[in-house]
Amino acid sequence: MGLREIVARNLRRLRHAKGLSQEELADRAGINRNYVGMLEREEHAATVDMLEKLAEVLEADPVKFFEASDTSA
């Protein structure tokens, strides 16, 4: 699994854990909703600054975006 896919999955997971839609996350982060969707579909790679902004909105440590999930469970 590539890093872009890991980030996309974790972004979606963290967003769902907060109960936010893509639109709500985008609004709180001050970005376009379509961009959030493109990140989650791996169509774009987020910058470090963008990941920091999204992590702040999601109240998460930015490192969480890079944690590979354990698929053996």
pTM: 0.90
Residue 67 lies in a domain: no
* Contact status, residue 64 vs residue 55, Cβ threshold 8 Å: yes
Q: What is the CATH number of the domain that holds 12?
A: 1.10.260.40
Residue 43: give the domain boundaries: 3-62
C-alpha to C-alpha distance for 73 and 54, rounded to whole angstroms: 28
Residue 9 lies in a domain: yes
> Three-class SS of residue 61?
coil
Residue 71 lies in a domain: no
As a whole number of Å, the end-to-end CA separation of the chain is 17
Count: domains in the chain: 1
3-state secondary structure 12-52: HHHHHHCCCCHHHHHHHHCCCHHHHHHHHCCCCCCCHHHHH
Digitized pLDDT (tens) for each residue of the chain, 73 residues in all: 899 999 999 999 999 999 999 999 999 999 999 999 999 999 999 999 999 999 999 999 999 999 997 654 3
Q: Looking at this protein, which amino acid is placed at residue 25?
A: L
Residue 73 lies in a domain: no
